[in-house]
A = this chain, B = another copy of it.
Amino acid sequence: MSISNPIVYDCIVVGAGLAGLVAARNIHRSGHNVLVIEAQDRFGGRMYGQYLPSKQWIDRGGQWVGPTQDRFLALLDEYGVRRFPSPAEGRKVLIFDGKRYEFDGFFQGFPEGEPPSISEEEWRDAMDAWERFETLTKELPSGHPRRDRQNQKLDSQTFIQWIEENTLTAFGRWYFSYMSRAVGYLGPAEPSQVSLLHVLWGNNCAPQSEHPEAELLHGGAGQIPEKIATELGTRIRLREPVLRICHDQAGVEVETLKSRFTAKFTIVAMPPHLAGRIIYDPPMPPLREQLTQRVPMGCCAKILISYDRPFWRDKGLAGIGLGNCKWIELCADSSDPETGVGVIATFVVGDRYRDWRSMSDSDRRAAVLSDLAIYFGDEALSPSTYDEVDWPSDPWAGGGYAAFMPPGVWTSFGEALTAPVGRIYWAGTEMAERWPGFFDGAVRTGEAAAKAIMSFL
């Protein structure tokens, strides 16, 4: 096809998540004419805040930031968003096979501090495997995994197979399976669903050893989309799913159910599977077409529970729990010290989500709270507020935290993840080479896409 209408915009950004907003803002600031089109009635995507009746904020999407997430930190500084250390003082709780351990360390995708007092054999098993995992990780070069013999080998197996071959105890096995379900770049995915290569790659470019959950934001991450959007003003259109993008050598025409818009370039700033749902004319190249069929979103609900005060601290607990409970494998104190309210953020993930989601509203709530009571005591059963965010039920996210790669996708289709197609560019945390699955990755890809396009404007 060729575009018949005159070109109006320099760039149309499809999707007003963090990556799209950052890209649009940078293009706008350089004096170019930009338009953002968003399917939902809000901007921010998986960066999504909410105020409780108590004026306490909660983050329905992502919430944390770490010390090496440079680009996100720069954004926070620019908008004057203040940070505070994620509450971690006190003893952490591990529940394993019904037994309770309190300890001073941590081990979400990186062992640190005092280990829990499980048997020496179990801990040794997990740590031996961890060493092998780290060695494998360090063999990977930086950047997206390339197609070579070594990577194809790693990409041909699921993470669970590596776990089974490298652990001897139920604890060792759970240690890594839990990691697969808890860490940002991993979907979350059940370890039976994700490529070993993807896990190693994520551990290389988004390592837990750099503490990506070290800090929280006063007022929450959810305040940021609005700050960027304010700068863009009327250049954002909400409630208009983009259905079709026609493109030729002169520009692009972006079509919604209501209107058509033309531009010199477009940035599609969405997870790959959503980018794949748009009709392209001419169609996407075959590798890109097949890629977007193969990059699913993680399967997770986030639940935010608030209490009058962080009662767990009275018991010397940090409000951080990990373990193989029936529903809750990870929960974390997310209380803002300036409000005095106690907030626990937790997740129901993977196959647990599947079963949990099939229950009634009240059963789901009871399930979550009774697991919290195992971690922190019966006070957990009486929260002030209880909010579920069911990401797989949101068609404009399709899941959360982020997308992940099943076996054989990186090495056969990976090169189509970021390659522009004519005047169409891609952004979103899934495309990042550093901190994929985190806010920082989204900022990086938004900045990069804007820069690439502006070099032609």
Contact = CB atoms under 8 A, between A and B. Distances in A.
Given A156-B192, A289-B393, A299-B412, 7 more contacts: A157-B157, A158-B158, A273-B276, A273-B293, A287-B354, A293-B399, A406-B407
Contacts of A354: 287, 412-413
Nearest to A243: B243
Given A244-B257, A289-B392, A290-B398, A406 B193 contact: yes
Contacts of A294: 296, 406
A283 interface: yes
A160 B158 CA distance: 11
Nearest to A406: B406
27 contacts: A156-B158, A156-B161, A157-B158, A157-B192, A158-B158, A158-B161, A158-B408, A190-B408, A192-B407, A193-B406, A241-B279, A243-B243, A244-B257, A273-B293, A283-B394, A283-B395, A286-B299, A286-B390, A286-B392, A287-B354, A287-B357, A287-B392, A289-B393, A290-B297, A293-B296, A299-B412, A406-B406
Identify the interface centre among A280, A290, A392, A399: most chain B CB within 10 Å of its CB.
A290
A255 B243 CA distance: 12
Contacts of A409: 193
A108 interface: no
Interface string A255-298: 10100000000000000010011011001111101100111110
A178 to B, nearest CB: 16
A192 B152 contact: yes
A351 B412 contact: yes
A269 to B, nearest CB: 18
A297 B287 CA distance: 12
A407 B398 CA distance: 19
A10 interface: no
Given A279-B241, A412-B351, A395 B193 contact: no
Contacts of A299: 286, 290, 412
Contact of A158 (B276, B393, B399, B407): B407
Taking residues whose C-beta sits less than 8 angstroms from the other chain, chain A's interface range is 35 or more
Interface in A120-168: 152, 155-158, 160-161
A387 to B, nearest CB: 17
Contact of A277 (B277, B394, B406): B277
A342 B99 CA distance: 72
A11 to B, nearest CB: 24
Interface string A179-209: 0000000000111110000000000000000
Given A280-B395, A409-B193, A297 B293 contact: yes
Contacts of A398: 289-290, 293
Interface in A193-250: 193, 241, 243-244
A258 to B, nearest CB: 11
Identify the interface centre among A191, A257, A350, A395: most chain B CB within 10 Å of its CB.
A395
A158 B194 CA distance: 11
A394 B257 CA distance: 23
A38 to B, nearest CB: 14
A395 B190 contact: no
Contacts of A286: 299, 353, 357, 390, 392-393
A299 to B, nearest CB: 6
A283 B394 CA distance: 8
Contact of A193 (B280, B393, B408): B408
Interface in A400-430: 406-409, 412-413
